[in-house]
Amino acid sequence: MHRMIVALACFLFCAATALPQSTDTKLRAYQTDLTQAKSSAPGSADRQEAVKHLTNPTFHPTRFALFAMGYDNVLFQQWLNLWEQSRTDKQVGATATGSGSTDLVSLPSAPQLFGLGTSVGALTQTVSGSVATFRGNADGIIRTFAGEPVGCNGCTGTNGLRNISFAVSFDLSRQATQQATTNGSANSATTTAPSTILLPENTKQFSSFTARYDIYNPKDTRSMTFQDAWDKWSTAHQSDLEAAGRTLQDSIEKLIDPWFQNDTKYPDLRAEYTAKLNQASAENIEALLTEYLSREVVMARSDVSNFDESLLNVRAAYASYSQSYEDLFKELRGKPQFSAEYTFNSPVDQPGTHNFRFIFASNPLRGGGLISANAAVTLYGGQFPAGAKYGRLRDFQFAAQFDRPLGNINNYPAVLTLAGYVQYQIDPSVLNIDAGNLVPGTTITLPQDAQVLLGRSGTMGIVQAKVTLKLKNSGVKIPIAVSWANRTDLLNATDVRGHIGLTYDLDSLFGH
């Protein structure tokens, strides 16, 4: 398992270094033309073509507006951010029913970039855990290290990689001991010195590793289905688009044309930097472009009587453009999602297990709610001891969940979740007792590792109610839950528990 994690980390790092590095963040909107300019020879036709676009403030004029505002975002990012904020289908924290997980059901999506989560509680386990989970997407991580945008319209990600995500959970509360031999008493008052004692040990805190493959996830903004839905929507809303286009034209004309069209000094400025950029070495291009754009801003501030207001109007035009996407949101919400997940669990004092989970989610009414279902099977891992009274197959699981945003479904403050979980366990649970522990009820120290069966085989049922609070536009969510179980894995008694967690979806931070 450790080798697998190291190999995965090496793979991601090596892939990241193979992609081109990013430019200055204020120039990121110019990246395509900058890359072409830097990769072409001074004076070449390719260089001239790129420079023509770079020096033309009305070629994708939001680039200039964003430079003048000092923002590193673009129109589509605002809409993607709104979409990401409205989603209820992401599994950020520990996978369902893992140690310390607050979830009975694994949701069908994972963050496109990173997710971090901590949670306290347990659902199927007798012993509660406290775990921290790091979740990431292979394509998102590579693109982030390389300075590439993770989500944008037209950015479909790398085939295969965008469907793969992983999660590693670490148990924050796990304790362990090791047996040590003493060297006799340290003073005369200690007449009977123990020959061995148990010392606290550096705990092996790894709790679980999860790998997930999104079989069909049209809510992933990088998927072709998502991009196609965008295309169909824009065709069906032609008149709306035309109106939005006119609004954009109005705001851009007021911001740019007073100097682009009417200032007699502007053509000389453009000609000066066109010549410089055409002949510049690759390493000087960004600095020259920044200088040119800064001079454009100075000229614009001089020529546009209410420059700052015009900038805000441009931004407002984009914001109102974003508001018209409700129909597209509805269409995307109505599409089903399928994922497959593998989890290696290393529970406290129990054999490691391999869990294979199939995840389905749908929203047939296209509203804010989401119905998710999981079907899973768990196998015991590792070598079996001689004469084991249990088989490789540990259990079957089925779980279902309904999530309903509370309040505005696009910008909700909380999500109510109702979930049910059924597990059929083939044999009683297996408990490992390490050498050095006492045989229960005696003072006899176990000379070697032992295994006992606890609990019973049969059906375990759990129901859960949960409210997940969302801190506005931050990507931070706080799930608070209560669950009832007819039994746990080691004990047969009913069990009522509280759960709390904290998750952070970095997709929101990166504005997509």
Non-local CB neighbours of 510 within 8 Å, separated by 6+ positions: 113, 144, 150, 151
Q: What's the CA gap between 105 and 93, in Å, rounded?
A: 12
Taking CB under 8 A as the criterion, the residue among 39, 261, 294, 408 binding another protein is 261
Taking CB under 8 A as the criterion, the residue among 156, 173, 437, 445 binding another protein is 156
52 binds another protein (CB under 8 A): yes
**Considering the complex, what minimum distance in angstroms separates the CB of residue 67 from another protein?**
13
268 binds another protein (CB under 8 A): yes
Contact stretch for another protein (CB under 8 A) within 149-157, 293-301, 399-407, 452-460:
149-157
Contact stretch for another protein (CB under 8 A) within 72-80, 329-337, 381-389, 494-502:
72-80
Hey, which residues does 140 pair with through a beta bridge? none
431 binds another protein (CB under 8 A): no
Q: What's the CA gap between 307 and 296, in Å, rounded?
A: 12
**Considering the complex, what minimum distance in angstroms separates the CB of residue 227 from another protein?**
6
Q: Where are the alpha helices (DSSP H) in 104-201?
A: 138-145
313 binds another protein (CB under 8 A): no
275 binds another protein (CB under 8 A): yes
* Contact set for another protein, span 227-256 (CB under 8 A): 227, 230-231, 234-235, 238, 241-242, 245-246, 248-249, 252-253
Three-state DSSP state, 365: coil
Taking CB under 8 A as the criterion, the residue among 67, 76, 83, 504 binding another protein is 76
In the bound state with another protein, the residue whose beta carbon lies nearer, of 80 and 92, is 80
In the bound state with another protein, the residue whose beta carbon lies nearer, of 63 and 470, is 63
Non-local CB neighbours of 129 within 8 Å, separated by 6+ positions: 99, 100, 120, 121, 122, 171, 173, 174, 207, 348
In the bound state with another protein, the residue whose beta carbon lies nearer, of 246 and 389, is 246
**Is residue 67 within 8 Å of residue 336, measured between CB atoms?**
no
Residues in the interface with another protein (CB under 8 A) total: 46
**Considering the complex, what minimum distance in angstroms separates the CB of residue 157 from another protein?**
12
**Considering the complex, what minimum distance in angstroms separates the CB of residue 25 from another protein?**
16
Between CA 7 and CA 13, with CA 8 as vertex, the angle to 5 degrees is 100
Residue 460: CA atoms inside 13 Å, Cβ hemisphere, count?
Answer: 35
Strand (E) or helix (H) holding 248: helix 238-260
In the bound state with another protein, the residue whose beta carbon lies nearer, of 272 and 449, is 272
Strand (E) or helix (H) holding 376: strand 370-380
Taking CB under 8 A as the criterion, the residue among 74, 104, 142, 311 binding another protein is 74
The torsion of the CA quartet 91, 92, 97, 103, rounded to 10 degrees, works out to -70
32 binds another protein (CB under 8 A): yes
421 binds another protein (CB under 8 A): no
Hey, which residues does 181 pair with through a beta bridge? 196
Contact stretch for another protein (CB under 8 A) within 47-55, 85-93, 205-213, 333-341:
47-55
Hey, which residues does 184 pair with through a beta bridge? none
486 binds another protein (CB under 8 A): no
**Considering the complex, what minimum distance in angstroms separates the CB of residue 363 from another protein?**
25
63 binds another protein (CB under 8 A): yes
332 binds another protein (CB under 8 A): no
The one-character DSSP state at 21 is: P
Q: What's the CA gap between 47 and 153, in Å, rounded?
A: 26
Hey, which residues does 117 pair with through a beta bridge? 133, 503
54 binds another protein (CB under 8 A): no
Q: What's the CA gap between 20 and 13, in Å, rounded?
A: 13
Taking CB under 8 A as the criterion, the residue among 61, 93, 98, 140 binding another protein is 61
* Contact set for another protein, span 159-188 (CB under 8 A): none
Non-local CB neighbours of 260 within 8 Å, separated by 6+ positions: 57, 58, 266
300 binds another protein (CB under 8 A): no
92 binds another protein (CB under 8 A): no
Residue 205's Cβ-count burial label (10 Å; 0-12, 13-18, 19+) is: middle
In the bound state with another protein, the residue whose beta carbon lies nearer, of 152 and 450, is 152
Nearest to 82 by CA among 404, 326, 430, 364: 326
Q: What's the CA gap between 351 and 122, in Å, rounded?
A: 18
67 binds another protein (CB under 8 A): no
**Is residue 453 within 8 Å of residue 430, measured between CB atoms?**
yes
In the bound state with another protein, the residue whose beta carbon lies nearer, of 314 and 430, is 314
274 binds another protein (CB under 8 A): yes
Q: What's the CA gap between 104 and 86, in Å, rounded?
A: 22
Binding site for another protein (CB under 8 A): 29, 32, 52-53, 55-56, 58-63, 74-77, 152-154, 156, 227, 230-231, 234-235, 238, 241-242, 245-246, 248-249, 252-253, 257, 260-262, 267-268, 270-272, 274-275, 278
